Structure 1
Amino acid sequence: MYETPPVRLLTSLGRQLADFTWTNIRACFYAVALLAGVGASTALPALPLARYDLLVAYGVLLTLVFWRRGWETGRDLVVITVCHVIGLLFELVKVALGSWEYPEPAFLKVGGVPLYGGFLYAAVASYVCRAWHLFDLRLTGYRAWPTGVVAAAIYLNFFTHHWLPDARWPLAVLLVAVTAGTTVGYRVLDRRRTMPLALSFFLIGFFLWVAENLATLTGAWRYPHQADGWQPVACAKIGAWALLISVTFVLASVGRQRPRTAAG
């Protein structure tokens, strides 16, 4: 059957969109499995082991399975572990300041934060690492040091804004500035496409906000405005996640490849 050029174009775009979506889903397997475990744990009967502690064991098992199956490399495991640790530090400060809470009791709980909380950040790191492999990501015009410095400042601002003026918007502008001209090349079927790095941060931030709504719905943690029942997470969190993902990206990019210049 003869296809006109517009039909061929739409068919090709449809196939590429389907492949792009499926590859993203594959990159999210760790996060999906983790959230599924959190959701399933709410339906468990009363056990001698606290639910949060059970989720710590589940998170460790999940990490080992992905590594042993070869879905994540040793380097990926290091990145995921580092993100787990800095995520726990983030949680300790935020919970202490009342930004959110983990209301259930647990043995493996420090400063009101269950150790499984770090796996939520590990899941984000897993997505970035798996996407790097599955999409064959290549950076063009990436300025590692300036981007790393801004990402570190963004991470610190999430703490310091409780005592100092919030520099979130200036840092967002600065992040866009240092990543201006930086593109992420990715493979979809047999084609290579590109998008601005800053746009990828925003898109990931949006989907993390969607995941955060699902996580709070299943009791992974609770914001103050959800104390009397679940309510959607504020849309402002999209921007917060878009900024925070820069930290994960910088960590994942270290040593992964030689950043390409615009000419190379």
Structure 2
Amino acid sequence: MKRAIRLLAHFTYQEAMSCLFPVFIFGSLALSHIVTIPGLPRYDMLLILCFAFQVFMVKSGLETRDELKVITVFHLIGLALEIFKVHMGSWSYPESAYTKVLGVPLYSGFMYASVASYLCQAWRRLDISLEGWPSHRLCVPLAAAIYLNFFTHHFLWDIRWFLTAAIFLVFWRSQVRFRVLTEWFRMPLSLSFFLIGFFIWIAENIATLLGAWRYPNQQTGWELVHLSKISSWFLLVIVSIIIVAQLKHLKSSLIARSPRQHGMQRPQ
């Protein structure tokens, strides 16, 4: 029992530290309900706070510069998705702001970036490795198809369930391996996709309650985010993990091929 409690406490601590950026965003959303600055719209204040915290994360060493690059990619991918979805009426940002682009406040990109921050932090803190990872010839087209379906299903067929079936086929042998203290654990990778997506759905309910954005059914008052959104986050998490995994694989390949590595070999 003591061993189980010690492992659980350490795992909880590492998960909490990995969630620093999402927790900061929730705190900022709550704070912006209480504190107002004359002449500074709420969304603009949130952008300043998120940007300042991102600088703090890098300067303090909580995030590396390589992780910042990954997070920036997610920021841009998220903004592109937000602009399209707001245009299509999937959700809205009703408050005014100076830093709105096509109806989307720029702070919204940090919400996607915070998911990437969690993935990068957890990957490093729990010494995560992926076993049975499929070929990039399968992963990259699958991730692209999932991301594009978020756009195309407004005009063509929604193939999310076909993509979900493809996910289980492609990753059926894949497992995530992680370390808690000195002990190693495994779980099916598809299960980790679902768990992360489920907790993001819970976070989404908190965010909409705090006024981060509004769905059409929340225009007259807050309501629970529809359960179908879990499948959307499930798919988006897969895109996120595939991007992170492929970038880490690319970095490892570049390090292995670097002149410095060859320079360490004994001359013939």
- Tell me the CA shift for residue 176 of structure 1: 1.4
1:216 equivalenced with 2:246 (yes/no): no
Aligned position for 1:119: 110
Partner of 1:33: 24
Tell me whether 141-150 or 212-221 shows the greater mean CA deviation.
141-150
Residue 48 of structure 1 corresponds to: 39
CA distance in 1, matches of 2:191, 2:55: 32
Q: Distance in 1 between matches of 2:200 and 2:108?
A: 15
Q: Name the CA distance, whole Å, in 2 between partners of 1:73 and 1:251.
A: 17
**Would you say 1:65 and 2:56 are equivalent positions?**
yes
Is the contact made by 1:137 and 1:186 (CA closer than 8 Å) also made in structure 2?
A: yes
| Equivalent residue pairs, number | 250
TM-score (norm 2): 0.90
Deviation at 1:14, TM superposition (A): 2.8
Secondary structure, aligned partner of 2:34 = coil
- Residue of structure 2 equivalent to 1:241: 233
8 Å CA contact 1:147, 1:175 repeated in 2: no
**Does 1:131 find its partner at 2:122?**
yes
Distance, in Å, in 1 between the alignment partners of 2:227 and 2:38 is 36
119-128 or 36-45, larger mean C-alpha shift: 36-45
Shift of residue 155, structure 1, vs aligned partner = 0.7
**Contact kept? 2:71, 2:117, Cα under 8 Å:** yes
Of 193, 196, 200, 2:188 maps to 196
> What is the alpha-carbon root mean square deviation over aligned residues?
1.4
Q: Distance in 2 between matches of 1:123 and 1:144?
A: 27
Q: In 2, distance between residues paired with 1:214 and 1:84?
A: 20
**Residue 77 of structure 1: which of 41, 54, 68 is its match?**
68
Q: Does 1:160 align with 2:152?
A: yes
Greater relative contact order, per chain length (Cα 8 Å cut-off, separation 6+):
1
State the one-letter code of the partner of 1:155.
Y
Give how far 1:186 is off: 0.3
**C-alpha separation between the residues in 2 aligned to 1:213 and 1:161?**
24
Any stretches of 5+ residues in structure 1 without a counterpart?
Answer: 1-9, 260-264
Moved over 3 A (4+): none
Structure 1 residue corresponding to 2:11, chosen from 20, 25, 36: 20
Instruction: For 1:87 and 1:242, locate their aligned partners in 2 and report how far apart those are by CA, in whole Å.
Output: 15
Structure 2: gaps (5+ residues): 254-268
Contact 2:47 2:107 in 1 (8 A): yes
Percentage identity across aligned positions? 45
8 Å CA contact retained: 1:91, 1:113: yes
Secondary structure at the aligned position of 2:185 is classed as strand
- In the superposition, the TM-score normalised over structure 1's length comes to 0.91
C-alpha contact (below 8 Å) 1:155/1:244 kept by paired residues: yes
State the distance in 1 between where 2:25 and 2:36 align. 19
Supply the AA of the counterpart residue of 1:125.
A
Equivalent-residue separation in structure 1 for 2:37 and 2:12 (angstroms): 38
Q: Contact 2:36–2:42 at 8 Å: present in 1 too? A: no
CA contact (8 A) 1:35 1:215 kept: yes
User: Aligned-pair distance for 1:233?
Assistant: 0.5
SS of the residue corresponding to residue 178 of structure 2 reads strand
The answer for the alignment partner of 2:177 in structure 1 is 185
Partner of 2:70, secondary structure, is helix
- Corresponding residue of 2:199: 207
Indicate the residue corresponding to 1:3 in structure 2: none
- How far is the alpha carbon of 1:46 from its aligned partner? 4.9
| 1:7 alignment counterpart | none
Structure-2 separation of matches of 1:203 and 1:253:
18
